């Protein structure tokens, strides 16, 4: 068995050569391409080739912080297993895992060099009209096939044990549901919105709603989640979409994955007045609204179609799946609100807002993100699809 070591480029090349059984006559070159917070990532290919291999290795600490914040390498096993499981039921939209080495906490992944990170595409106003609907179908398929609609009791309990991910899901709890709603040294609050942050920290009613969402996140194991499904963990190309980076996954409420993606589209929505003229910004905001509709619509329709074949007679009862999806929608709005707030004043921001050059315009967009996030949390029980449309249309009209 190999002994763990932190990979250099030469190690990534040797790993590809060994796994793919490539002889010395095949020339390989590599480069580090990772820009994430946790891991290191290499791309290995032959000179002149447009496609090669991606090597991803988990470090024994959080990369963006360093050795002062140690982190289990077992997250590589969790991620590989989740991607493999999701790939079984939705191969068209899950990055392929070619090999996993548990001792080295390293995996060999499909090269998506012909795709773009969706966040970057959105920031450059590139339109991928099928992406949101594709993502909704991905979520429906991976959630359904890991849920009680598809698995019997014993199988689901076994899956919950197999995919237990306490260390990383505890980080999710802290950075999404706890730190942003109080003063904490990990928070990153710009001075121009300090007042709004302090008002939020003092809002007892809001924090009670957040406590319920946090409690459900820990206790409502409905499906195997991706766990960190934002626009930076989705790769897009014309007519194609692939989901990557599932190390924060585990069992939890379906609305969490849906809500986190809603939030990241809404953060881009909120950034538009700081990025564009009024007319252009409103046009792009309408696109984000259409993507949210498409994501939810495809998720709902695909899940209903799959649930019609459930072998569980109780869950197949007419009308039950619709009632469940109404609760998933409400959960999603609440989780979206938490994600919007944490990405604005918590430890990990998004380029959509932070990339706005003018500090006054940036602060205005951040205030809108905080206000909209708070409303989603507080009004999730009342906001159906029509009401959410109206709320966002009012935000567009108000700039």
pLDDT tens for each residue of 31-82: 999 776 789 999 999 998 888 999 999 999 887 677 777 899 999 999 999 9
Q: What is the mean pLDDT of residues 237-260?
A: 98
Contact, 291 vs 264, CB < 8 A? no
Domains detected in the chain: 9-110 (3.30.200.20), 116-398 (3.90.1200.10)
What is the model's pLDDT at position 48?
87
- Yes or no: say if 164 and 156 are a contact pair by the CB < 8 Å rule: no
Which of 86, 81, 136, 77 shows the shortest CA–CA distance to 105? 77
Element (H, E) at 101: strand 97-101
Instruction: Indicate if the alpha-carbon torsion angle 6, 9, 12, 18 is positive or negative.
Output: negative
Q: Which of 131, 111, 112 is nearest to 121 (CA)?
A: 131
The mean-pLDDT minimum among 29-43, 59-73, 235-249, 266-280 falls in: 59-73
pLDDT at 38: 82
Stretch 132-136: mean pLDDT, rounded?
98
- 186/346 Cα distance (integer angstroms): 7
| Cα–Cα distance for residue pair 327/389, rounded to 1 Å | 18
Please tell me the predicted confidence (pLDDT) of residue 399: 61
- Using the predicted structure, report yes or no on whether residue 228 has a pLDDT greater than 70: yes
Supply φ then ψ for residue 284, to 5 degrees: -70, -35
Instruction: Pick the closest to residue 143 from 299, 259, 319 (CA basis).
Output: 299
Q: What share of the chain has pLDDT > 90, as a percent?
A: 92
Mode of pairing for the β-strands spanning 61-62 and 66-70? antiparallel
Strand partners, 110: 53
**H-assigned helices in the chain:** 9-19, 75-89, 118-123, 131-145, 153-162, 166-172, 194-201, 204-219, 254-275, 278-307, 320-345, 351-354, 359-379, 385-398
In terms of DSSP bridges, do strands 240-243 and 234-237 run parallel, antiparallel, or are they unpaired? antiparallel
Q: Which residue has the tokens 């994501």?
A: 295
Q: What is the pLDDT of residues 148-189, one digit of tens each?
A: 999 999 999 999 999 999 999 999 999 999 999 999 999 999
Inter-residue contact 177 to 338 (CB < 8 Å): yes
Tokens 């300090």 sit at which residue?
194
Q: Distance between CA 278 and CA 399 in Å, rounded? A: 7
How big is the CA angle at 108 (ends 103 and 114), to the nearest 5 degrees?
160
The answer to whether residue 397 scores a pLDDT higher than 60 is: yes
Average pLDDT, the chain: 96
Q: What is the pLDDT of residue 22?
A: 95
* Total-model pTM: 0.96
């Amino acid at each position: 068995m190999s002994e763990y070591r932190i990979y250099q480029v030469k190690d990534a090349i040797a790993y590809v050569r060994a796994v793919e059984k490539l002889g010395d006559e095949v020339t390989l070159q590599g480069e580090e391409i990772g820009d994430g917070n946790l891991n290191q990532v290499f791309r290995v290919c032959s000179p002149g080739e447009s496609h090669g291999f991606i090597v991803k290795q988990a470090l024994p600490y959080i990369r963006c912080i360093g050795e002062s914040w140690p982190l289990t390498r077992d997250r590589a096993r969790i991620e590989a297993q989740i991607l493999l499981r999701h790939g079984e039921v939705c191969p068209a939209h899950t990055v392929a895992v070619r090999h996993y080495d548990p001792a080295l906490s390293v995996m060999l992944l499909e090269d998506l060099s012909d795709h773009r990170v969706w966040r970057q595409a959105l920031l450059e106003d590139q339109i991928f009209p099928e992406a949101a609907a594709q993502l909704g179908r991905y979520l429906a398929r991976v959630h359904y096939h890991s849920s009680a609609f598809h698995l019997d009791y014993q199988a689901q309990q076994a899956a919950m044990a197999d995919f237990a991910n306490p260390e990383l899901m505890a980080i999710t709890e802290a950075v999404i549901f706890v730190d942003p709603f109080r003063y904490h040294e990990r928070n990153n609050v710009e001075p121009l919105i300090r007042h709004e942050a302090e008002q939020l920290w003092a809002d007892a009613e809001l924090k009670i709603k957040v406590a319920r969402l946090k409690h459900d996140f820990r206790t409502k194991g409905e499906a195997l989640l991706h766990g960190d499904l934002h626009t930076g963990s989705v790769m897009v190309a014309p007519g194609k979409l692939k989901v990557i980076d599932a190390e924060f996954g585990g069992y939890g409420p379906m609305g969490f994955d849906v809500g986190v993606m809603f939030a990241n589209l809404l953060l881009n929505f909120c950034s538009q007045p700081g990025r564009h003229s009024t007319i252009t910004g409103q046009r792009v905001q309408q696109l984000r609204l259409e993507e949210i509709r498409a994501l939810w619509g495809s998720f709902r329709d695909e899940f209903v179609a799959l649930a019609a074949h459930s072998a569980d007679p109780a869950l197949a009862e007419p009308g039950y799946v619709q009632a469940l999806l109404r609760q998933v929608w409400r959960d999603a709005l609440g989780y979206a609100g938490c994600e919007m707030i944490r990405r604005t004043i918590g430890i990990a921001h998004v380029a959509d807002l932070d990339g706005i050059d003018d500090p006054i315009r940036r602060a205005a967009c951040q205030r809108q993100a905080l206000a909209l996030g708070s409303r989603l949390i507080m009004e999730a029980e009342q906001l159906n699809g029509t009401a959410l449309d109206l709320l966002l249309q009012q935000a567009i009209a108000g700039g």
